[in-house]
A = this chain, B = another copy of it.
């Protein structure tokens, strides 16, 4: 299944979160296109058996295991001969390795902020799958990207679509961004039904196979709200010029409307490997044998406006973006705690927006926050929401 034509010189790639959904798919792409990248660091939190297999296949310079106990187990049993680091600080070391050309930032949630920022400050380009970093710390991260002259290649299918639609176009010609949303598993559920939505139901995404955190975020539409915030930072387009459009088939991955009224869209079968590959080689393209889309077979694409009443998380994300400061960091932290509690069946589905809303009302918003401010607000929000769940 080797079918790449190398787009240029081989890039040195490290993957933060190589055993997660995006990490595994990134390595699938790397395997199929061996000339594109050389793997430098792989990292996991606790999935040491997967990491062992990956390390033996891809022979990175080293691996990082964030969880110390898992690292001890790994060291005692591994056949891997490269460097083995452990602990969260080691993620930053791997991310900022001077040999990295590109870092796939695929940790889940706020944990990605420090290592991604470390990579940027070391001049490493970022393939960004970890949207929560921009949700929490968009302004300082984009400042760091500009200061260090690094590129951020989006990995989310929506943002990859937007980037693909913008190739060769002037940024001043952009009028609106139109982010498509599948609508998730509860698109047709009534507000009443949503009150009793179970974790098992929420984990059944209609189109995309993803990690559990993002799958719940897709069910609440918080994921789409996060994508709006991410788009605002990646493309420097304010929230008033970003629309969300529900498109259940997930074939049109997003669209850019230009000042002349013309709209460009990127389409394809739902497969994260395509945006992952594009992030590795953009703006070039590399031949693949991915299954091709056939619209005559698909036959029908449908579109509808999002419902902010049944999906208040989407509105909360827009509101936080409009409020600015640390509001989006509050939303992200509150959502992480709430989603974790929902996955543990400690709270109901509609408690997620309720807790996020409560946090937004409770935690003081800090304008023009430093990264330290954001970390402080993140911690404060987590404590607040956790105490609300236990109460």
Given contacts A167-B169, A265-B267, contact A285 B260 (CB under 8 A): yes
Q: Does A12 contact B (CB under 8 A)?
A: no
Give every chain B residue within 8 A of A178 (Cβ-Cβ): 295
Give the Cβ gap from A265 to chain B, nearest Cβ, in Å: 5
A260 and B292 CA atoms in complex are apart in Å by 9
Q: Does A11 contact B (CB under 8 A)?
A: no
A231 and B178 CA atoms in complex are apart in Å by 29
CB–CB B170/A168 < 8 A: no
Cβ proximity bits A73-117 to B, threshold 8 Å, 1 near / 0 not: 000000000000000000000000000000000000000000000
Interface size counted on chain A using CB atoms at 8 A: 49
Given contacts A169-B167, A285-B173, contact A299 B292 (CB under 8 A): no
CB–CB A284/B167 < 8 A: no
Give the Cβ gap from A224 to chain B, nearest Cβ, in Å: 14
Give every chain B residue within 8 A of A267 (Cβ-Cβ): 255, 262-265
CB–CB B258/A285 < 8 A: yes
**What residue of chain B has the Cβ atom nearest to residue A301's Cβ?**
B301
CB–CB A262/B284 < 8 A: no
Q: Does A193 contact B (CB under 8 A)?
A: no
CB–CB B287/A259 < 8 A: yes
**What residue of chain B has the Cβ atom nearest to residue A305's Cβ?**
B296
Give every chain B residue within 8 A of A293 (Cβ-Cβ): 257, 261, 263
Q: Does A375 contact B (CB under 8 A)?
A: no
Give every chain B residue within 8 A of A296 (Cβ-Cβ): 245-246, 303-305
Q: Does A140 contact B (CB under 8 A)?
A: no
Give the Cβ gap from A334 to chain B, nearest Cβ, in Å: 29
Give residues 296-311 of A contacting B (CB, 8 Å).
296, 298-305
A283 and B303 CA atoms in complex are apart in Å by 29
Give every chain B residue within 8 A of A260 (Cβ-Cβ): 274, 277-278, 285-288, 290
CB–CB B298/A303 < 8 A: yes
CB–CB B295/A303 < 8 A: yes
Give every chain B residue within 8 A of A303 (Cβ-Cβ): 295-296, 298-301
Give every chain B residue within 8 A of A259 (Cβ-Cβ): 285-288
Q: Does A165 contact B (CB under 8 A)?
A: yes
**What residue of chain B has the Cβ atom nearest to residue A269's Cβ?**
B261
**What residue of chain B has the Cβ atom nearest to residue A293's Cβ?**
B263
Would you give 16 A-B contacts (Cβ < 8 Å), ordered by A? A165-B264, A168-B169, A173-B284, A173-B285, A258-B285, A261-B292, A262-B266, A262-B267, A262-B274, A262-B278, A296-B305, A299-B303, A299-B304, A300-B301, A301-B301, A301-B302
- Top-5 shortest CB links A-B: A168-B168, A167-B168, A261-B290, A295-B303, A173-B285
